[in-house]
């Protein structure tokens, strides 16, 4: 028996304004940038040994963030293949989101040398932006795969990508401030921090570009499921009577079926319901069994097993009605149902 699994669906979220403290820090950072000031409190020099230790501790954080960004970008550029299984895609993006949150937690507990507090805040803002961008990108993308108003999610995803671009800018500022601090110190043989860029081009975050990308990604959707072969157990023989095929089964108290269900579309289908009804010409009240296929990938065929059917014996004509429910947006349903006639000795 298949368990029912629903594809992920998210409520469209409202974007909350950034906390005032983050805005204040951003303004301060911008001032440092424009006036080419150092971000050391009071202009004091940073202790060389503390600076060296800090850089060595923060380097794995930066490298990990870059690695997470590469994993996300691989997913982002492979969506044409990954959207066939939205649940798996959602799980992958959720892993990226959690990794970003874990990394932010690590950075928040680093011991920061006196005089580098504001500089370190730039790194925290960068990591916070990446975490929040991944969180909203995941829900926006998954919802966009089935959304009617695609432009709404195109705008939201563009905002998510722009948040990533802002995080890249904050990291550039942070790296430059650390490099200047190292140059001004007596630190020896301390390698500079590596670049950490998640999205190289602003063009990729422009609304029109994102909307075009989503339209191409979704393409022309084709939805359709069909019943393939239906195998009876026991099988018996097949006769023709009055232009109809009738299965002549040997004596049996129970009958089982193996039903092939095929996804003939180019989109994954969730919660595909297969129903079998058994009745006779003399007793049209059906006995029904139902099973649900959690997910059926494009082009995939699955075997559904139905057992425990108790036919009427003595040569009475039994009728099996095998049906797979139409999926959303399916237009051709002629192959969604089969009638099978049989008798049991």
For 54-110, write each residue's pLDDT tens digit: 999 999 999 999 999 999 999 998 888 888 788 899 999 999 999 999 999 999 999
Q: Is the peptide bond before 234 cis (omega within 30 degrees of 0)?
A: yes
State residue 84's pLDDT score: 78
Q: Percent of the chain beyond pLDDT 90?
A: 63
Judge contact between 171 and 196, C-beta under 8 A. Answer: yes
pLDDT at 35 over 60: no
Taking residues 313-341, report their average pLDDT. 93
Pairing assessment for the beta strands 244-249 and 255-263 based on DSSP bridges = unpaired
> Looking at the whole model, is its pTM more than 0.85?
no
Chain mean pLDDT for the chain: 86
Mean pLDDT of the region 220-229: 86
pLDDT confidence band for 136 (50 / 70 / 90): very high
CA dihedral 161, 163, 169, 170 (to 10 degrees): -150
In this structure, whether the domain defined by 225-344 belongs to CATH 3.40.50.11540 is answered with no
Q: Which of 322, 342, 297 is nearest to 227 (CA)?
A: 322
pLDDT digit string, tens, across residues 147-194: 777 889 999 999 999 999 999 999 999 999 999 999 888 777 888 899
């Amino acid at each position: 028996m298949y368990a029912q699994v629903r594809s992920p669906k998210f409520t469209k979220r409202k974007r909350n304004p950034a906390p005032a403290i983050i805005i204040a820090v951003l303004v301060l950072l911008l001032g440092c940038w424009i006036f080419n000031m150092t971000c050391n409190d009071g202009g004091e020099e940073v202790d060389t040994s503390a600076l060296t230790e800090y850089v060595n501790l923060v380097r794995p954080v930066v490298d990990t963030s870059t690695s997470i960004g590469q994993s996300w970008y691989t997913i982002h550029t492979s969506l044409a293949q990954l959207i066939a299984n939205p649940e798996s895609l959602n799980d992958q993006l959720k892993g990226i989101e959690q990794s970003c949150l874990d990394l932010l937690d690590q950075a928040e507990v680093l011991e920061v040398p006196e005089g580098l507090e504001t500089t370190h805040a730039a790194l925290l803002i960068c990591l916070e932006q990446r975490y929040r961008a991944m969180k909203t990108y995941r829900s926006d993308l998954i919802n966009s795969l089935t959304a009617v108003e695609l432009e709404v999610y195109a705008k939201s995803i563009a905002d998510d990508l722009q948040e990533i671009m802002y995080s890249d800018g904050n990291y550039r500022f942070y790296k430059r401030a650390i490099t200047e601090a190292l140059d001004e110190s007596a630190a020896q043989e301390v390698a500079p921090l590596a670049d950490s860029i998640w999205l190289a081009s602003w063009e990729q975050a422009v609304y029109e570009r994102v909307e075009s990308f989503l339209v191409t990604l979704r393409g022309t959707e084709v939805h359709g499921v069909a019943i393939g072969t239906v195998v009876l157990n026991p099988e018996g023989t097949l006769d023709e009577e009055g232009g109809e095929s009738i299965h002549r089964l040997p004596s049996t108290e129970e009958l089982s079926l193996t039903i092939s269900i095929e996804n003939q579309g180019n989109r994954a289908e969730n919660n595909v319901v297969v129903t079998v009804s058994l009745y006779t010409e003399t007793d049209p009240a059906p006995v029904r069994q139902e099973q649900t296929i959690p997910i059926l990938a494009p082009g995939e065929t699955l075997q559904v097993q139905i057992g425990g059917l108790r036919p009427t014996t003595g040569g009475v004509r039994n009728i099996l009605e095998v049906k797979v429910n139409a999926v959303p947006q399916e237009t051709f349903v002629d192959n969604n149902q089969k009638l099978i006639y049989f008798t049991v000795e």
